Amino acid sequence: CTNLVNYGSFEGIKVFLNQENPLPNDPPDIWYSRPTNIATVNLNNELFGINNLKIDSTGMVYQNLSIETGKSYKIAGWDKTPSDSVGYISLSSIDCPNFKVFTDRTSTNNAWIYINKTFFNTCSSNSAEIRLEAIIDTPSVYFDNIQLFEV
């Protein structure tokens, strides 16, 4: 199966820009943040590769992608969250405001855990946004090896 998420392990030269929307010359298929300046690519080889994503305050990091109507998909990844914060992966479409899928919201006590959710795409639009979301009271929430694939 093919991972529809680009740079899900945050490896590469330019995989994340700390701005809310792509500018005309920015790559459309990398990660962006809402609000700005909440996250960084973190040099840390605890899990997969040498990088993961660190979110330091409440908000989200997102990537635009395409999925097909009438197909089943799985969103998945790894999350490390302090006990008083929450992290999760979601997927939604601007064109279908009632369509939103969430993994479980986790507080992992600073241990890495695998989170996932399988869903059927009922939205009539192929345009989607995958989000790494964090609700933070104290230290950072981390994500790594983010995936979206057809099942």
Provide the token pair at 66. 């395409």
> Could you tell me the mean pLDDT of each successive run of 10 residues in the chain, 151 residues long?
92 84 86 91 85 93 93 95 88 89 85 94 90 87 95 95
Report the predicted TM-score, pTM, of the whole model to 2 decimal places. 0.92
Cα distances (angstroms) measured from residue 81 to each of 14, 38, 89? 25, 15, 13
> Which regions of 2-49 does DSSP assign to beta strands (E)?
16-17, 31-34, 39-43
